């Protein structure tokens, strides 16, 4: 469907939250996706109750994973960081057709020291390390992984570097995650809640391939097909005008935002992909996990009353197994 002024729906009222909307520009051969997260991101982040800076980066990681995972036909995408910053580790999983979960591990003392120093940023939280993106198709198919250094940069910059180096695609990415206060509405009490959003646009080579410009030396090494294309440069400039508040505004339909950004290019959208917060854990899975431990080792896990309690790192659900329960 091509978006036109005055129409932002696809056969009904616009859906504004918990979705990925794929699109392409008609004039400039650019493909992209926009993600909007409301209840889903609030459910995931609220279940952990991390300090706000940690939740912000994890929220951005969830938005990025949704943007990238939407292209999968089956299986799952796993985005993971491991670094020397206060936020030493995070992992997010996207499972087809749109299930998301994630968690983070951080050092409270180092986080507080960084806060007091006034050097708090996404890059300083992550520090130096790596960002890994793994595609697990499922079944007997082999997994594929791409790795890129973090180098005290934010997730968007690291992902852009990945696409530049591994996919040879000029790419623009913008991510945001914020905590907002919502006043009382009817029976719903006032409270803080999380929202997140993101935008990715990528150059699409013309049919039959595209020739690189004739460059030499460092300029030749740094060039990508399409990087000097006037159409790509124009769309990248337009994409960079997007504001964080536009990516998360629940009153602004994603189709309307695309029209606002790229109306001169002509925009065609594909059907939205709904998203949900869904963990893969279950009592049966946890029981099977415990069954893999030798009996003597299981005994060391028991609490004073003889029970074993396991908490899922992804969703914070606790599973309690009494001594008489059958495990596995």
**Residue 221: CB partners within 8 Å, gap ≥ 6?**
none
Two tokens at 286? 């946890």
Residues with pLDDT less than 50, the chain:
5-12, 208-222
- Identify the pLDDT of residue 3: 56
Report the predicted TM-score, pTM, of the whole model to 2 decimal places: 0.87
Q: What is the pLDDT of residue 207?
A: 58
In percent, the amount of the chain with pLDDT more than 90 equals 71
**Residue 168: predicted pLDDT:** 87
Integer Cα distance of 177 and 42 in angstroms: 10
Alpha carbons 177 and 65: distance in angstroms, whole number: 13
Distance of alpha carbon 19 from alpha carbon 135, whole angstroms: 20
Each residue's pLDDT tens digit, 286-300: 998 898 888 888 889
- Quick one: pLDDT at residue 8? 38
Q: List, for residues 230-274, the tens digit of each pLDDT value.
A: 899 999 999 999 999 999 999 999 999 999 999 999 999 999 999
């Amino acid at each position: 469907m091509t978006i036109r002024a005055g129409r932002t729906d696809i056969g009904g009222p616009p859906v504004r939250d918990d979705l990925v909307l794929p699109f392409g520009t008609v004039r400039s051969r650019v493909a992209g996706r926009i993600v909007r997260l409301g209840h889903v991101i609030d459910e995931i982040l609220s279940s952990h109750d991390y300090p706000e800076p940690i939740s912000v980066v994890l929220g951005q990681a969830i938005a990025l994973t949704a943007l990238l995972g939407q292209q999968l036909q089956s299986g799952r995408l796993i985005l993971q960081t491991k670094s020397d910053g206060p936020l030493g580790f995070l992992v997010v999983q996207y499972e087809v057709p749109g299930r998301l979960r994630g968690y983070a591990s951080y050092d409270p003392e180092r986080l507080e020291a960084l806060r007091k120093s006034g050097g708090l940023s996404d890059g300083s939280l992550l520090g130096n390390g790596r960002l890994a993106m793994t595609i697990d198709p499922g079944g007997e198919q082999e997994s594929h992984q791409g790795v890129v250094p973090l180098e005290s940069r934010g997730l968007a910059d690291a992902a852009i570097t990945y696409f530049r180096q591994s996919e040879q695609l000029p790419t623009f990415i913008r991510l945001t995650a914020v905590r907002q206060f919502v006043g009382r509405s009817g029976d719903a009490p006032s409270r803080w809640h999380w929202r997140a959003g993101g935008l990715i646009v990528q150059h699409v080579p013309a049919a039959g391939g595209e020739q690189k410009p004739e460059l030499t030396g460092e300029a030749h090494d740094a060039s990508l097909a399409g990087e000097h294309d006037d159409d790509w440069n124009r769309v990248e400039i337009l994409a960079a005008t997007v504001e964080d508040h536009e990516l998360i505004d629940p009153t602004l339909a994603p189709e309307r935002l695309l029209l606002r950004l790229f109306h001169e290019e002509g925009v065609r959208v594909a059907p939205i992909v709904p998203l949900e917060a869904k963990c893969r854990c279950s009592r049966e899975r946890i029981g099977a996990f415990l069954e893999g431990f030798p009996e003597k080792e299981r005994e060391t896990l028991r609490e004073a009353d003889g029970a074993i309690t396991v908490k899922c790192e992804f969703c914070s659900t606790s599973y309690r197994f009494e001594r008489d329960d059958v495990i596995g």
